[in-house]
Amino acid sequence: MSGDFLLPREGSLEDPIRVAVIVSGGGSGLAALLQYQATPRTHRTALVLSDKADAGGLQHGIDAGLPSLGIPLPTKTGAKERRVAHEQLINAALEEHNIELVVLSGYMRILTPWFVSRWKGRLVNIHPSLLPDFPGAHAHRDVLAAGVDVTGCTVHLVDEGVDSGPILAQIQVDVHEGDDESALQERVKRVEHVLYPKTLDILCSGQISL
């Protein structure tokens, strides 16, 4: 694998990796991670960010007493400039809070190479399919349309592509007859809520080498 991924240092229970979780939606994954981190771990959430000022997920951070910021896209610039300006604001918040690892948890925007290059190796995502199958924003819909029997979820380091980068962990989930998107999403989320925290344990305790 490519050598340009700079992995996080080895965290410890006394000095855990400082994590920022970035969400776009309800943040059930964030809630599960915060619950997991209620016991000392090698990673600890220090900041919650969202591209939506009213994202339900921000409330989980607020309830946990964490700095929790909505950073919407700036409105005044052109489309390309707006994306980079937005990520500059996010990056500034990450630096201000001395963040060491960025955890995307239902973040529905594609990050630019500008941002990825700054965080590569310390930028992790969960996607609700068995990548490289069914990347993109509508994984469950695409899984159902394809008629496959098995789907799942994938935790991976983020590179410059869409839902690509070194895979850290995957779990399979059966597709049931009669599943709709919502039923499938809920079943996959239950598995995600176990897989993501455990994979962060592995990543933050120096057990991954690329």
Alpha carbon of 14 to those of 34, 47, 93, 181, 184: distances in Å? 17, 18, 24, 41, 38
CB of 2 to ligand GAR, least distance (A): 22
Report which DSSP code applies to 74.
P
Active site residue 127: yes
Query: Tokens 């590569």 appear where?
Result: 120
Report which DSSP code applies to 210.
-
Contacts of 35 (CB under 8 A, 6+ apart): none
* Candidates 43, 60, 86, 127; catalytic one: 127
Asked if 149 contacts 175 with a C-beta cutoff of 8 angstroms, the reply is: yes
Strand pairing category for 123-127 and 150-157: antiparallel
Task: Please report whether residue 168 would count as binding ligand GAR according to CB under 6 A.
Answer: no
Beta-carbon neighbour count of residue 25 at 10 Å?
16
Task: Please report whether residue 197 would count as binding ligand GAR according to CB under 6 A.
Answer: no
Applying the rule CB under 6 A, the residues between 63 and 122 that interact with ligand GAR are 105-106, 108
Task: Please report whether residue 23 would count as binding ligand GAR according to CB under 6 A.
Answer: yes
> Contact with ligand GAR (CB under 6 A): which of 8, 11, 16, 29?
29
Task: Please report whether residue 165 would count as binding ligand GAR according to CB under 6 A.
Answer: no
CB of 82 to ligand GAR, least distance (A): 20
Task: Please report whether residue 126 would count as binding ligand GAR according to CB under 6 A.
Answer: yes
Task: Please report whether residue 189 would count as binding ligand GAR according to CB under 6 A.
Answer: yes
Interaction site with ligand GAR (CB under 6 A): 23, 25-29, 57, 105-106, 108, 126-128, 137, 139, 189, 192
